Structure 1
């Protein structure tokens, strides 16, 4: 008896690409086309109790959520979807003019309940993965974001414990120059600055909190202090 042939992820992609509207049509592949190329990376924390629970969550039909990668506290990296497939990790989201982050991003979940620091071994594994993804897909350094960045009214991950500064120092994301925090000019429009960086300012308070959770950390109130405005101005100038 012949053994069953394992179907690879590449085979699955090829089968998906051949599923047209007319199922009875002949198939003759064209020479020129593109598959989805990720241009963003969105980082999450799982808000669950273990990596095993998260993997199981992503395999249940009714949960309707997934990610490309899950990283455990011990640095174990589990890939759950091919990079070229669209996972369901960002939900209702917006960054700049992009309103469907799922279609252009890779989702990475870190095993963390949102109330604890991230172990060094976990962050080190993340940095290795990010370097691989950045190199492979030529992802701009500004496009490494958190879930709360792209969905500020709904999400707070990857929490105030996440080391965004450390990532930015390695070329993944943006951080401010704390040695050059000059006061912004009198005509500085902080709403426009948040929008230009990428935040959805339709819910301004949520955007401010998301910004402060990431860059200020110790204060996540809805008001921008003088120091907050200097940080924002410093970051804003990096986009010109």
Structure 2
């Protein structure tokens, strides 16, 4: 009996010792995340009244009285990217270094693993200089999802399956409208092409994440204004050729160019009527 207890004790000690050797390689960056989140929490909890002065530099009376009617600002868009890097590990490293100044809420690997890197209510730095409709700060109202893909390869089925499941959760959690699932290239035409011409937008649309053209397309009328249609969908048409290229990568996906064929015009007419 004593020998048995001794063996159990040795085994338990060995397991404990081994478990201590297993370390999280992201402990340091997780600690930085926690520190920065704590700093933001302190800002949210601050009860400092606005400090105001009039034209004579005299203080204007002010005080802080907390309302009971509020909540967190929720994301209203989902922006899909490809990483254009060699591996998930490289992307995670990029997002855990200060110098690149880029991040995303989620990274999805080719095998379907989902890495959550930032609370959904926080502002990631994924959109950059971008515009959609009247919104010029997409980072403030969107969730960024990065897919492990170099941009010149098909997306893995396991990866897309995980993406669809994640999108379903986000749509339900935040009541995100169907039209508001778009790509980085849509909001930054001429600057970014991702998620690219190979991304399965039609598959997403069938699940309720974004729009896509119908199988049967009604021809566009002779007086159809393509520039206005692109603008009403959301594209920034200040650089019209770039907006056309972005539209074609998303909704036509036959070839990447900045000119509209008759077929492209018909697709544009079909899609524009959905918005």
Please give the TM-score of this superposition, normalised by the length of structure 2: 0.79
Q: Which of 89, 92, 103 is equivalent to 1:52?
A: 89
Output aligned runs, 1:6-85, within 5 Å.
14-19=41-46, 30-85=67-122
Output aligned runs, 1:108-123, within 5 Å.
108-123=145-160
More helix by share: 2
Equivalent residue for 2:225? 189
User: Which whole-Å CA distance do the structure 1 matches of 2:168 and 2:40 have between them?
Assistant: 25
Counting matched residue pairs gives 230
Q: Which of 236, 241, 259 is equivalent to 1:205?
A: 241
Query: Runs in 1 of length 4+ with deviation above 4 angstroms?
Result: 6-13, 19-22, 26-30
Q: Is the 8 A contact 2:129 2:188 kept in 1?
A: yes
User: Which whole-Å CA distance do the structure 2 matches of 1:214 and 1:135 have between them?
Assistant: 24
1:146 aligns with 2:173: no
**C-alpha displacement at 1:35, in angstroms?**
2.0
Equivalent residue for 2:172? 135
Q: Which moved more, 1:29-38 or 1:94-103?
A: 29-38
- SS of the counterpart of 2:237? coil
Describe the superposition over 1:33-59 as per-residue Cα deviations: whole angstroms up to 9, x where unpaired. 332210000000000011111111011
Equivalent residue for 1:217? 253
The 1:92/1:139 distance shift into structure 2, 3 A limit, reads same
User: Which whole-Å CA distance do the structure 1 matches of 2:87 and 2:231 have between them?
Assistant: 36
Q: Is the 8 A contact 2:197 2:256 kept in 1?
A: no
Of structures 1 and 2, the one with the larger relative CO (CA 8 A, separation 6+) is: 1
Q: Is the 8 A contact 2:47 2:64 kept in 1?
A: no
Q: Which of 70, 84, 87 is equivalent to 2:124?
A: 87
**C-alpha displacement at 1:102, in angstroms?**
0.3
User: Which whole-Å CA distance do the structure 2 matches of 1:61 and 1:13 have between them?
Assistant: 17
Q: Is the 8 A contact 1:18 1:27 kept in 2?
A: no
Equivalent residue for 1:161? 198
User: Which whole-Å CA distance do the structure 2 matches of 1:36 and 1:68 have between them?
Assistant: 16
Q: Is the 8 A contact 1:58 1:67 kept in 2?
A: yes
User: Which whole-Å CA distance do the structure 2 matches of 1:55 and 1:16 have between them?
Assistant: 28
Tell me which structure has the larger Cα radius of gyration: 2
**C-alpha displacement at 1:71, in angstroms?**
0.3
User: Which whole-Å CA distance do the structure 1 matches of 2:123 and 2:204 have between them?
Assistant: 24
- SS of the counterpart of 2:246? helix
